[in-house]
Amino acid sequence: MLTKLSVNINKIALLRNSRGNNVPDILKFASDCEAYGADGITVHPRPDERHIKYTDVFDLKKNVRTELNVEGYPDEKFLRMVIDAKPHQCTLVPDAPNALTSDNGWDTILHQVQLKEIVALLQENGIRVSLFINPEKKYLDAAKEINTDRIEFYTGPYAHHYSIDREDAISPFIQAAKHCLEIGLGVNAGHDLNLDNLAFFKQQIPNLLEVSIGHAFVKDCLYYGLENVVPMYKRLLN
């Protein structure tokens, strides 16, 4: 199975915002990623708009030719924006409004009723839905009940444990990905994936549909350049 690379461009927006003008231009960066082979663009607008602004999402939707994935906590403002902008995919995360970055998956049991309504609303608007989740059977079963199209595994713990014991680090994800196959949930993954740990993750999770990668990708661009970094990541995936 081919695994899609969706480039998270939050950090490019952060650089732009630090100067108050439009440099670097995130629309150009997104289309250059696509030109070099990326399969999608991901953004994660946060309530303080410290990197991606809500207006960026509308501009990106007009310009992205592959797939736009918008991540975020489903408060009223976020949901209104997503329904108006209609990205191809919306990944719901349980972040607190002031979170530095996503650091946990949904408790899909506790939030089942709320998430079921939100997922249905997004799907009625033609948007594919993914839920950010830890690799635990009980949360996957509840995610299936919620009727989400996909889940995105929170891979932070895998990445942190990879250099110590990669077999141990991947083990819960293998079990969880097999379970997703059995119950009919699509599998995405993201957080702290990089040039060192991505190939092993992909080899061990054959039903991986998409990864979204931002922080390490942008760091790699500083050393190798965007036109090289997209193919470097793509080679690890396929």
Q: Which stretch binds ligand PXP (CB under 6 A): 31-39, 56-64, 113-121, 210-218?
A: 210-218
Q: Which stretch binds ligand PXP (CB under 6 A): 25-33, 143-151, 184-192, 202-210?
A: 184-192
Residue nearest to ligand PXP (CB): 190
12 or 142, CB closer to ligand PXP? 12
Query: Smallest distance, Å, CB 218 to ligand PXP?
Result: 8
Q: Does 215 bind ligand PXP (CB under 6 A)?
A: yes
CB of 104 closer than 8 Å to CB of 94: yes
Q: Does 192 bind ligand PXP (CB under 6 A)?
A: yes
Eight-class DSSP state of 131: E
Both tokens of 85, joined, read 């902008």
Q: Among 216, 152, 206, which residue's Cα sits nearest to residue 7?
A: 216
Q: Does 8 bind ligand PXP (CB under 6 A)?
A: yes
Q: Does 72 bind ligand PXP (CB under 6 A)?
A: no
31 or 42, CB closer to ligand PXP? 42
C-alpha span between 161 and 67 (Å, rounded) = 31
Q: Which residue among the candidates 34, 51, 67, 71 is catalytic per the annotation?
A: 71
- Alpha helices by DSSP H, listed for the chain, are 10-17, 26-35, 54-63, 76-85, 112-124, 137-146, 156-162, 166-183, 198-204, 215-224, 226-237
Q: Are strands 68-72 and 208-213 parallel, antiparallel or unpaired?
A: unpaired
Q: How many Å separate Cα 206 from the centre of its chain?
A: 18
Say whether 136 is catalytic. no
Contact positions toward ligand PXP, by CB under 6 A? 8, 10, 44, 71, 91, 93, 101-102, 132, 190-193, 212-216
Catalytic residues: 44, 71, 191
